[in-house]
Amino acid sequence: MEPQSALALFDHEMREHARPDGPGVRVERTGDLVRQTGGADDWNGVVWTAPDLDPEQADAAIAAQVEHYTSLGHDAFEWKLYAHDSPADLGGRLAAAGFEAEPTETLLVAEVAELSTSVELPAGVELRTVTDAAGVELMVRAHELAFGTDGSRLRHQSLARLSGAPDTFVAVLAVAGGEPVSSARMELYPGTGFAGLWGGGTAAPWRGRGIYRALIAHRARIAAERGYRYLQVDATDESAPILRRLGFTALSTTTPYVYRTTP
């Protein structure tokens, strides 16, 4: 995989021509950017900016997005900034407008055909596919154990995907002794060749035993079966080294800039 070509394809398919990531949300191009708008529990934010966006246009675009989302009553929205976006000081302009930068992640992509699909789990652990509300509750519990954050929004979005667009959503649990110890999701984007990997968190006592790698292989096998060419991940500093060893290539970095109307 040639990184620059892969990045250009990713920008074109997954950002400039982004598809809604669930039922009840819309993606629209407005001026020099593409944004997604949904309800309060959906992901709301900017996913793409034109490569020739200049500083004056950037300030106007930032102000317009603040007006757009706050007028809808949203308490927060995100501007998903990539390291290769223009203008070069866009992050500083977002910060000056009241956005807060969250931890930077690495954009990693791999060709599905080059990945292992052999699932190797530690003794006593099994994988279960999430297909209903009960499974979503177990996934939320695993997420909260792994990340220590509230899973309410994950619950809302997963239930919406399972009921409204089940063919574009895969969720899986790793279970030990009847209890969830890890979970992961995959979002499929028909017509793009890309599938996105999300989640992948494991409860602390079970880390370092290969569950994360097994969840990657499991989803890679499903992506291959469904004809997808690429897997994409926004990886934390903890997971990026593992993904590189598994065959993923770093294409860029991405930083969520979040605008909040309340402290």
Mean pLDDT of the chain: 95
The predicted model gives 49-71 an average pLDDT of: 96
Q: Are 90 and 51 in contact (CB under 8 A)?
A: no
Domains of the chain from N-terminus onward: 3-107+254-260 (3.40.630), 111-251 (3.40.630.30)
Kindly state the average pLDDT of the residues 191-220: 95
Question: Strand pairing partners for 76?
Answer: 260
State yes or no: pLDDT of 258 exceeds 80: yes
- With contact defined as beta carbons under 8 Å apart, do 216 and 205 qualify? no
Q: Where are the beta strands (DSSP E) in 122-178?
A: 125-129, 169-176
pLDDT for residue 263: 66
pLDDT tens digits, one per residue of 214-227: 999 999 999 999 99
pLDDT tens per residue, range 87-113: 999 999 999 999 999 999 999 999 999
Write out pLDDT tens, residues 140-171.
Answer: 999 999 999 999 999 999 999 999 999 999 99
* Rounded Cα–Cα distance for residues 60 and 177 (Å): 55
pLDDT of residue 12: 97
Question: The pTM is what?
Answer: 0.94
SS3 string, 51-100, reads CCCCHHHHHHHHHHHHHHHHHCCCCEEEEEEECCCCCCCHHHHHHHCCCE
Determine the Cα–Cα distance for residues 90 and 222; give it in Å rounded to an integer: 37
User: Which is it for strands 249-260 and 100-101: parallel, antiparallel or unpaired?
Assistant: antiparallel
Instruction: Look at residues 121, 140, 150, 122 and name the one whose alpha carbon lies nearest to residue 180.
Output: 140
Distance CA 238, CA 245 (A): 13
At residue 262, the pLDDT reads 77
Residues in the chain: 263
Mean pLDDT for the stretch of residues 53-81: 96
Decide if pLDDT at 1 tops 90.
Answer: no
Give tens-digit pLDDT for 9-48.
999 999 999 999 888 899 999 999 999 999 999 999 999 9
